[in-house]
Chains A and B, each alone.
Chain A
Amino acid sequence: MILSRTSRLTLRTVALTYLFLLVAVPIVLIFYRTFEDGFVAFWESITTPAAISALSLSLLIVAIVVPLNVIFGIATALALVRGRFRGRGLVQAIVDLPFAVSPIVVGVSLILLWGANGWFGFIEKDGGFKIIFALPAMILATIFVTLPFVVREVEPVLHEIGEEQEQAAATLGASRWQTFWRITLPAIRWGLTYGIVLTVARSLGEFGAVIMVSAGVPGESQTLTLLVHGRYIDDHNTFGAYSASTLLMILALITLLLMTVLDQKRTER
């Protein structure tokens, strides 16, 4: 397609303005408002007991969700790529489901299933082990929304490397477990890392599903996203909300940076 100089410039301006107005301006504005009164104010706002508790809870959820997603993500990807079983198409669809279902629906369905009157309600009623409105439900909700990432990043790499290296290892005497650790895992490590980074970013940012199943008590059961929400809506503490948002964004930026570096490494190879 050949465009005249004018229309080319117009198109560029429109695209950049769009990006700037819709993405850059809101983020820059938050940064600006956060640091308007200096760094100390920001620092004090994110080191209150409630903020520290929210940060730790968010990181705790990440620390639990990531290993679980890695283990089950690799297992699922292996089954989907190497396995010959009926219903593979169904499994593929289920893996993609969290991309399609709204997080708030996830929250509601978790309450329906695990709540006191749900199918698994006996665990709470008889076992006294609180799930809904407690940490377990927040973890379940986060797992649900992040489940596809590791599977979808590892799957194409497994396809690409094929089975011959694994078969060669078998003929050389390696057990399945040895083959996995020494051949398969090193071969998929870039896809896996990428999947982990995506999982971390999504876990930190999850709000809709988590707010449904959290008790939302500040200093106890608030994640960073819930802290932003709580400060802004309940406490009318707008500055506190901006500071917590900035903290979230800094974490997101670190993850994004890590992702870019890893992606470069991956394309180099």
Chain B
Amino acid sequence: MTDIAPSADALHALVEGSGAINVGSHAIEVHGLEKHYGDYHALRDINLTIPSGSLTALLGPSGSGKSTLLRAIAGLEVPDGGTVIIGGSDVTYVPPQEREIGFVFQHYAAFKHMTVRDNVGFGPSIRKQPKAEIAKRVDELLEIVGLGGYQERYPSQLSGGQRQRMALARALAVHPKVLLLDEPFGALDAKVRDDLRQWLRQLQSETGVTTVLVTHDQEEALDVADHIAVLNEGRIEQWGSPREVYETPANTFVMSFLGPTAKLRGELVRPHDLVLSKRQIDDAVPVTVERVVHLGFEVRVELRDGESTDLSAQITRGEASRLELAVGDQIYVRPGLHVDPVAPDSAQPAPGLEKTSA
């Protein structure tokens, strides 16, 4: 997987031919989107604007509506209400064929009876472009996705990661205004997933094509996205930069979905924001050390407070050796001074998000 970094020339060629960059505007706008499946309310008044050239992650657990939202943007689902605007024009009832999008499916959706060349060239050939031109573009794209020389293979002769890169090349072949990825790395194993993630990040930042990525993996979202929309039960709970949603979560759901949490006096805090001390400071809570786990550069301390609830704190190795913690010790724990703990059920409006009538 060392040869998949896009070459500068190839990237240049891609950007040259691409209508992807329209600086300053919003590539995608979604207003008041609603979708029902029978009794199931899949999307509830979704409002979202995605800036041109950005990589946005739709993050949420399964059943949160993230894929439905992406498919509504693609035109693969027709919403019950609301509007979808791509590149300034209302496409709510425009079929996917006319939306100028690229879509990548979790399970690749490779055309099994076609070679890699015909798969990638499918979009251009539908547009009746000259054969020589298509062949040239296919070769370019395959070079970019690291599949140069694989033209005559069939999808069944490729690994999962290669198939997904082929699917990406196929989506890019039609110069999409926006690139939509539905859990693109969900079916791949961890190592390949990490590599492809970095590679996608690089490809995206260099081509500048507006990209929306659906994922249930918060690490993936934090890693690659410029913006994250956190979805739950058909609503956007919060929209913001990875740092915003991680450090200033709008509510307990966002807090607990984006990382580990510990409950202290009924409030949620991140385990690494807990401060331990041997002396009672201010309003610190007395706890007993249950277990000390050394995880390489950091140490996890499992604690139990007077009400017999468990919580764990994450501290540095230096901190741990300074405190000389041993199982059974009575110590004190409080949230770090810079931390603003999230009280359960506090429904703050999500920053960066239009008012939702939830």
Residues of A within 8 A of B (CB): 161, 164-165, 167-175, 178, 182-183, 186-187
Which one of B109, B127, B171 lies within 8 Å of A165 (CB-CB)? B109
Nearest B residue (CB) for A161: B112
Find chain A residues with CB under 8 A from B95 CB: 170
Find chain A residues with CB under 8 A from B150 CB: none
Find chain B residues with CB under 8 A from A170 CB: 75-76, 95-97
Cα(A164)–Cα(B108), bound, Å = 9
Closest-CB distance, A254 to chain B (whole angstroms): 27
Cβ B103 vs Cβ A168 within 8 A: yes
Cβ A171 vs Cβ B76 within 8 A: yes
Cβ B111 vs Cβ A174 within 8 A: no
Cβ A171 vs Cβ B122 within 8 A: no
Find chain B residues with CB under 8 A from A175 CB: 97
Q: Can you list 9 A-B contacts (CB < 8 A)?
A: A167-B96, A167-B109, A170-B76, A170-B97, A171-B76, A171-B99, A171-B103, A172-B174, A175-B97
Which one of A164, A174, A178, A182 lies within 8 Å of B109 (CB-CB)? A164
Cβ A169 vs Cβ B122 within 8 A: yes
Cα(A165)–Cα(B108), bound, Å = 9
Q: Does B240 contact A (CB under 8 A)?
A: no
Find chain B residues with CB under 8 A from A172 CB: 122-123, 126, 170-171, 173-174
Cα(A169)–Cα(B105), bound, Å = 12
Cα(A187)–Cα(B111), bound, Å = 9
19 new A-B contacts, CB < 8 A, other than A170-B75, A172-B123, A173-B97, are: A164-B107, A165-B109, A165-B111, A165-B112, A167-B76, A167-B96, A167-B103, A167-B109, A168-B167, A169-B122, A170-B76, A170-B97, A171-B76, A172-B171, A173-B174, A174-B122, A175-B97, A183-B111, A187-B113
Find chain A residues with CB under 8 A from B315 CB: none
Find chain B residues with CB under 8 A from A168 CB: 103, 105, 109, 111, 167, 170
Cβ A174 vs Cβ B126 within 8 A: yes
Cα(A198)–Cα(B96), bound, Å = 38
A171-B113 in contact given A164-B107, A178-B126 (Cβ < 8 Å): no
A171-B74 in contact given A186-B113, A187-B112, A187-B113 (Cβ < 8 Å): yes
Find chain A residues with CB under 8 A from B98 CB: 173
Closest-CB distance, A228 to chain B (whole angstroms): 42
Closest-CB distance, A159 to chain B (whole angstroms): 15
Q: Does B101 contact A (CB under 8 A)?
A: yes
Residues of B within 8 A of A (CB): 74-76, 95-99, 101-103, 105, 107, 109-113, 122-123, 126-127, 167, 170-171, 173-174
Find chain A residues with CB under 8 A from B123 CB: 172-173
Cα(A152)–Cα(B99), bound, Å = 36
Nearest B residue (CB) for A178: B126
Find chain B residues with CB under 8 A from A182 CB: 122
Find chain B residues with CB under 8 A from A183 CB: 111
Cβ B126 vs Cβ A171 within 8 A: no
Find chain A residues with CB under 8 A from B170 CB: 168, 172
Which one of B74, B76, B110, B126 lies within 8 Å of A173 (CB-CB)? B126
Find chain A residues with CB under 8 A from B113 CB: 186-187
Cα(A254)–Cα(B127), bound, Å = 43
Closest-CB distance, A32 to chain B (whole angstroms): 46
Cα(A170)–Cα(B109), bound, Å = 12
Find chain B residues with CB under 8 A from A167 CB: 76, 96, 103, 105, 109
Cβ B112 vs Cβ A171 within 8 A: no
Nearest B residue (CB) for A167: B76
Cα(A174)–Cα(B103), bound, Å = 13
A173-B127 in contact given A164-B107, A168-B103, A168-B105 (Cβ < 8 Å): yes
A164-B126 in contact given A170-B95, A173-B174, A187-B112 (Cβ < 8 Å): no
Find chain B residues with CB under 8 A from A186 CB: 113
Find chain A residues with CB under 8 A from B112 CB: 161, 165, 187
Cβ A164 vs Cβ B97 within 8 A: no
Cβ B127 vs Cβ A171 within 8 A: no
Find chain A residues with CB under 8 A from B97 CB: 170-171, 173-175
Closest-CB distance, B110 to chain A (whole angstroms): 8
Closest-CB distance, A192 to chain B (whole angstroms): 13
Find chain A residues with CB under 8 A from B109 CB: 164-165, 167-168
Closest-CB distance, A157 to chain B (whole angstroms): 12
